[in-house]
C-alpha cells in the first residue's frame, strides 16, 4: 500500500472519528440535565417513555441523516477531486452541518414544549440580560501559537515564490490550487474567531455570573479548536510548498515517514485534548441550572424587519450579527460583518469552481 493511501486513510480516520465522537455527544444532549428535561425544557419524569419517545427519535434520526449526507458528499468530492475537493467540501459541509443541527435542535425543542410541565419553568428562566464585558480578539490570542502559524505560513509563501522562479514552465494552476485553498482557509478561520469573540452573550438574571463563566469557558474552547485547525492547515500548507519547491525528491522515504508520523501524533494529541476540555466544560455545565434564553444577542428582533419569510433580516439598532427568525438563524444585513462572511463564502465558492475545471 502506497504512502499516499496510508496518509489519506489516516486523515480520513481522524476527521470522521471526530465527527462520530461529536455525533455521539449530540445524540445524548436532550437528556443532559436528566430525564425530567428535554434540553432546557421541563417535561417531567417518564417523558422519554411516553410522548417524548417520538420527539427524541425524530431528533436523532435527523441528526444521523445530516451527518451521513455530509460524510457522503465529502467522500465523493475527495474521490473526484483529491485533497482540494476534500478540504473545500469539508469546510462547506461543516458550515451546512452546523446550520442543519441548529435547525433540528430548534424544531425538536419546539415539539418538546408542547409537553412542557405547566407552571414549572426551569430555574433561571427569568428575563435575559446581556454581558457588557468588552471582548477583543487580541485578548484571546495565544502568542506562541500565532508565532508558529505565522512562521509556517510566511515560510510557505517564500517557498512558493522560489518554486515559481525555479520552475516557470510548471502548471501553476494545478500546483498552486491546494496552497491557495489552505491560505484561504487560514483567513476563514480567523474570520470565524472574530465572530466567536464578538458573539453577544445573553444570560439569565438568576445565577448570571456562573452562566457567564460557563459561556466564557465554551468560547475559549471554540477558539482553541480554531487554532488547532489552523495549525494542522499550516502543516499541510508547508508540506505543499516544500513539494512545489523541491519536487517529489525533497526528502527520503524515512524523512517523509517522520513528517507524517509527526502530523498524526499532533492530531492524536489534539483529539485527546479536545476530549478532555469538552468533558471539563460539560462537568461545569452540570453545575449550572438549565436556563431558557428568551432573546438572541440580548436584542429581540422586530418581526417587521424580516423579509422573504424570515430568510433576511435588517436591524440597524440590533448589535447582533445573527438573529433568530421564523426559519432559524439568519444574518443581520445591517451589520457590516455580514458582508465579510458572505464575501468570504463567495470567494470559497470561486475556489471550489476553480478546482472543478
| CB distance 269 to 12 below 8 Å | no
pLDDT bucket at 351, cuts 50 / 70 / 90: confident
- 304 or 1: which leads in pLDDT: 304
| pLDDT number for residue 62 | 94
Query: pLDDT tens digits, residue range 89-137?
Result: 887 787 778 778 878 888 898 899 888 887 655 444 444 455 555 677 8
| pLDDT number for residue 285 | 77
Map residue 319 onto helix, strand or coil. Answer: coil
251 φ, ψ (degrees, to nearest 5):
-155, 160
Please determine, for residue 156, whether its predicted confidence score (pLDDT) is greater than 50: yes
For the ranges 104-118, 147-161, 249-263, the lowest mean pLDDT is seen at: 249-263
* DSSP code string of 48-114: GGTTHHHHHHHHHHHHHHHHHHHHHHHHHHHHHHHHHHHHHHHHHHHHHHHHHHHHHHHHHHHHHGG
| pLDDT number for residue 216 | 84
Helix (H) or strand (E) holding 306: strand 306-307
| pLDDT number for residue 301 | 61
In this structure, the number of other CB atoms found within 10 A of the CB of residue 322 comes to 21
| pLDDT number for residue 102 | 77
pLDDT bucket at 7, cuts 50 / 70 / 90: low
Tell me how far apart the alpha carbons of residues 26 and 167 are, in angstroms, rounded to a whole number.
Answer: 49
| pLDDT number for residue 245 | 78
| pLDDT number for residue 174 | 64
Tell me how far apart the alpha carbons of residues 42 and 62 are, in angstroms, rounded to a whole number.
Answer: 22
Strand partners, 331: 322
| pLDDT number for residue 297 | 46
Nearest CA to 182 out of 203, 164, 215, 159 is that of 159
Helix (H) or strand (E) holding 341: helix 336-356
Query: pLDDT tens digits, residue range 280-323?
Result: 887 877 777 676 554 444 455 655 587 777 778 888 877 777 77
- 301 or 178: which leads in pLDDT: 178
| pLDDT number for residue 327 | 66
Q: What is the pTM of this model?
A: 0.71
- 156 or 90: which leads in pLDDT: 156
**Residues whose CB falls within 8 Å of the CB of residue 22, separated by 6 or more in sequence, listed in order:** none
Average pLDDT of the segment spanning 318-333:
75
Query: pLDDT tens digits, residue range 36-84?
Result: 888 888 888 889 988 899 999 999 999 999 999 989 998 888 888 777 6
Instruction: Delimit the domains of the chain by residue range.
Output: 1-120, 130-293
For the ranges 14-28, 147-161, 287-301, 331-345, the lowest mean pLDDT is seen at: 287-301
Query: pLDDT tens digits, residue range 199-244?
Result: 766 666 666 777 778 888 888 888 888 888 888 888 888 877 887 7
Amino acid at each position: 500500500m502506497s504512502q499516499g493511501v496510508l496518509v489519506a486513510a489516516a486523515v480520513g480516520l481522524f476527521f470522521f472519528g471526530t465527527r462520530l465522537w461529536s455525533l455521539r455527544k449530540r445524540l445524548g444532549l436532550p437528556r443532559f440535565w436528566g430525564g425530567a428535561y428535554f434540553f432546557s425544557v421541563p417535561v417531567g419524569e417518564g417523558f422519554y417513555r411516553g410522548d417524548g419517545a417520538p420527539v427524541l427519535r425524530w431528533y436523532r434520526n435527523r441528526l444521523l441523516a445530516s451527518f451521513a449526507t455530509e460524510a457522503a458528499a465529502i467522500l465523493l468530492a475527495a474521490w473526484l477531486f483529491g485533497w482540494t475537493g476534500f478540504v473545500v467540501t469539508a469546510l462547506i459541509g461543516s458550515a451546512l452541518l452546523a446550520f442543519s443541527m441548529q435547525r433540528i435542535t430548534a424544531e425538536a425543542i419546539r415539539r418538546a414544549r408542547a409537553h412542557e410541565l405547566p407552571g414549572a419553568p426551569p430555574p433561571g428562566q427569568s428575563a435575559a440580560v446581556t454581558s457588557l464585558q468588552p471582548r477583543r480578539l487580541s485578548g484571546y490570542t495565544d502568542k506562541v501559537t500565532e508565532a508558529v502559524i505565522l512562521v509556517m505560513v510566511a515560510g510557505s509563501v517564500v517557498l512558493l515564490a522560489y518554486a515559481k522562479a525555479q520552475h516557470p514552465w510548471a502548471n501553476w494552476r494545478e500546483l498552486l490550487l491546494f496552497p491557495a485553498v489552505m491560505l484561504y482557509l487560514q483567513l476563514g478561520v480567523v474570520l470565524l474567531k472574530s465572530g466567536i469573540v464578538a458573539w453577544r452573550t445573553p444570560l439569565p438574571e438568576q445565577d448570571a455570573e456562573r452562566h457567564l463563566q460557563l459561556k466564557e469557558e465554551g468560547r475559549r474552547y471554540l477558539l482553541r479548536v480554531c487554532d488547532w485547525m489552523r495549525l494542522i492547515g499550516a502543516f499541510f500548507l508547508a508540506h505543499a510548498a516544500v513539494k512545489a519547491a523541491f519536487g517529489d525528491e525533497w526528502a527520503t522515504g524515512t524523512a517523509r515517514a517522520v513528517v507524517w508520523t509527526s502530523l498524526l501524533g499532533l492530531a492524536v494529541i489534539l483529539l485527546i485534548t479536545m476530549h478532555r476540555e469538552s468533558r471539563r466544560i460539560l462537568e461545569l455545565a452540570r453545575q449550572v441550572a438549565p436556563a431558557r434564553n428568551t432573546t438572541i444577542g440580548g436584542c429581540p428582533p422586530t418581526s417587521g424587519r424580516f423579509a422573504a419569510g424570515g430568510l433576511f433580516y435588517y436591524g440597524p439598532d440590533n448589535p447582533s450579527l445573527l438573529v433568530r427568525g421564523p426559519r432559524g438563524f439568519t444574518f443581520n444585513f445591517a451589520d457590516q460583518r455580514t458582508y465579510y462572511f458572505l464575501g468570504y463564502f463567495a470567494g470559497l465558492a470561486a475556489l471550489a469552481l476553480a478546482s472543478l475545471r
